[in-house]
Amino acid sequence: RKEVEQDPGPFNVPEGATVAFNCTYSNSASQSFFWYRQDCRKEPKLLMSVYSSGNEDGRFTAQLNRASQYISLLIRDSKLSDSATYLCVVNPRDDKIIFGKGTRLHILP
């Protein structure tokens, strides 16, 4: 099993719809989790941290399921500007940051 796995997509979603994707991780001792967003030919930018209790930031909701070892990202009322690659990041106990390969999201007008 890979350390961090994501569905590469692309997810083609009409504007205004809700979309969700998951990221699974193999190291049960992983300590912290993040979602980053990366636009084409740009650097990754932090979208949100993922807390054990789950967290919400506007239209974005992130959740952690430790029992099943995955994190999720939900985007409500999607906008054209949400089109990007979403990278799952896992920080195991040894502090090596591990990125997934990313999930490509295309919001369609």
Interaction residues for other proteins, span 35-64 (CB under 8 A)? 42-46, 49
| 66 interacts with other proteins by CB under 8 A | no
Rounded to 5°, the CA angle 71-81-57 comes to 45
How far is CA 49 from its chain centroid?
A: 10
Phi, psi of 85 (to 5 degrees): -100, 130
Beta carbon nearer to other proteins, 34 or 82: 34
Beta carbon nearer to other proteins, 42 or 59: 42
| 76 interacts with other proteins by CB under 8 A | no
How far is CA 74 from its chain centroid?
A: 9
CB of residue 34 to other proteins, shortest distance in Å: 7
* Cβ-based burial of 69 (10 A; exposed 0-12, middle 13-18, buried ≥19): middle
| 92 interacts with other proteins by CB under 8 A | no
19-25: strand order across its sheet: 4-6, 19-25, 70-75, 60-65, 55-57
Binding characters for other proteins, 2-21, by CB under 8 A (x = yes)? --x-----------------
Q: Interface with other proteins by CB under 8 A: which residues? A: 4, 31-32, 34, 42-46, 49, 87, 91, 94-102
